[in-house]
Amino acid sequence: MPQKKAIHFGAGNIGRGFIGPLLVQSGYHVVFADVDAHVIDELNAKHSYEVHILDNAAAPGAEDVPKKKERRESIDSVSGILTTHMDQVIREFEDPNMQIVTTAVGPPILEKIAPAIAKGLQGRRRVHGGVLNVIACENMVHQTTLLKDLVLKHLDADDAAWAETHVGWANCSVDRIVPPAQGFGDSHPLDVGVEDFYEWAVDENALKKDGEVQLPLAGMKLTQDLEGYIHRKLFTLNCGHAITAYLGYLKGHQTVDQAIKDPQIRDIVKGALEESGYALVKKHGFNEEEHQEYIAKTISRFENPNLKDDVSRVGRQPLRKLGREDRLLGPAYLAKQYGIPVPDLLRGVAAAFLYDVKDDPQSMELQGEVEKKGIARAVEDITGFTVGTEENETIVKSYEELKTWKAA
Ligand SMILES: NC(=O)C1=CN([C@@H]2O[C@H](COP(=O)(O)OP(=O)(O)OC[C@H]3O[C@@H](n4cnc5c(N)ncnc54)[C@H](O)[C@@H]3O)[C@@H](O)[C@H]2O)C=CC1
Ligand SMILES: O=P(O)(O)OC[C@H]1O[C@](O)(CO)[C@@H](O)[C@@H]1O
């Protein structure tokens, strides 16, 4: 029997370190589609690589010296194509063994891969018309719905109607910390280091189950309450992570584990996650005790010294992270609905306004806004908290206080 196939757009950290491996474990041959010719050549030369699971273990008796405990998983049955080679992308979609399309390219890139997916779907419809499932694994709410809308723009009415009935467009929540690979040697360019923890929750209702695909895949949780999973992850892991990164950057810490060890930072992060947690418990009816454990587990994930996760990776693109539904303002607005005060979340927002990394265009754009409009007006425009409101004043006050951290 021919091997079933999946095409994954984005052979980066999450592609190679999380989604690709789960697809391979589920019996799929994974075709990575990327613009990076070096990675694609390596995939086609070796057809395999290793995932290094970097444990969070400290050496007994030596508190500050992490003991590198590591397991390895070999990922075989992989190949690559360049997304610029449209004919190859279309051929993969036309293959009847192709059953799943996943992405991890970064939210702004979805519109760039949409034309290739549209062409692929047209080809598939023409050749055999088999059912397919698409799951975008990006850190944002309703990422697959966004991808679907972008793809539909490239289809005529007939093809769009076909894509509605024959393609499952499933949103998901994707959680595993996978920093850029480091230290595996020049001869292992595809290897990637990951934390042990992972969670991939996928909207069960949106998947097409009438094709060949056997669900759930390895490591996948099917859920009828995706919003709960997305909010819990985005407003806890991503929220705490971003605040740790922005405050860590202010204090000159290089990595997340160094930043979270700083008592001043830890207190604010913990406070913010408690505030966000009260709102999540109210909104989704989570068990309070279990949610406290989830917060503690999340903070312990930040402490993993073996990940060497740079604060500039976690803080990247601050304007996206200051989106109204995203990790900082999302929980602040949710808490507001229940009258929950959020001083530490707003400290985190203020810290984002102080993030001035020269080679991060969004950071520079944000600084430009502050310079042009002044902090209170910039906060109003970006966060929606108008000048004179308690939230705007708290952010501005925290901004001024946190500035002194930078100077120190
Ligand atoms: N790294 C992590 O720990 C996590 C990341 N995510 C999300 O996964 C997504 C990807 O993140 P990473 O893997 O960290 O980024 P990455 O930068 O390591 O990987 C992105 C990949 O997309 C490729 N790419 C860029 N333009 C492309 C195009 N037009 N066509 C095909 N491929 C293209 C890049 O060459 C790169 O290989 C983001 O949305 C991120 O928020 C979600 C959970 C965890
Ligand atoms: O990938 P983004 O959205 O820029 O944000 C970085 C975040 O993504 C992750 O890499 C994985 O969820 C986290 O480590 C971090 O909070």
At 60 the pLDDT is: 43
Alpha carbon separation from 275 to 11, 99, 173 (Å, rounded): 36, 42, 21
CA distance 290 to 269: 18
- Closest atom of ligand 2 to CA, residue 175: 12
Q: What is the CATH T-level fold of the domain 5-224, as seen in this structure?
A: Rossmann fold (3.40.50)
**ipTM higher than the 0.90 cut:** yes
Q: Would you say the CATH fold of 227-407 matches that of 5-224?
A: no
Give the SS3 label for residue 272. helix
Ligand 2 binding site (Cβ under 6 Å of any ligand atom) = 139, 175, 177, 238, 241, 314, 316-317
Q: Atom 36 of ligand 1 has which residue's CA nearest to it?
A: 12
Kind of pairing between the strands at 29-34 and 78-82: parallel
- Closest atom of ligand 2 to CA, residue 242: 16
Q: Is ligand 1 within 6 A of the CB of residue 176?
A: yes
Structural domain spans, the chain = 5-224, 227-407
pLDDT along the chain (408 residues), means of 10: 93 98 97 98 97 73 54 96 97 96 96 98 96 94 96 98 97 95 83 96 93 86 95 97 98 97 98 98 97 98 94 97 96 98 98 97 98 98 98 98 87
Q: Which CATH number fits domain 227-407: 3.20.20.110, 1.10.10.10, 1.20.1260.10, 1.10.1040.10?
A: 1.10.1040.10
Percent of the chain as helix, strand, coil, to the nearest 5:
55, 15, 30
Q: Atom 3 of ligand 2 has which residue's CA nearest to it?
A: 139
Of 158, 156, 159, 112, nearest to 136 by C-alpha is 112
Q: How many Å lie between the centroid of ligand 1 and the Cα of residue 138?
A: 8
CA distance 134 to 155: 16
At 62 the pLDDT is: 44
Q: Is ligand 1 within 6 A of the CB of residue 139?
A: yes
Q: Is ligand 1 within 6 A of the CB of residue 323?
A: no
Global confidence as pTM: 0.91
- Closest atom of ligand 2 to CA, residue 317: 4
- Closest atom of ligand 1 to CA, residue 116: 30
At 57 the pLDDT is: 65
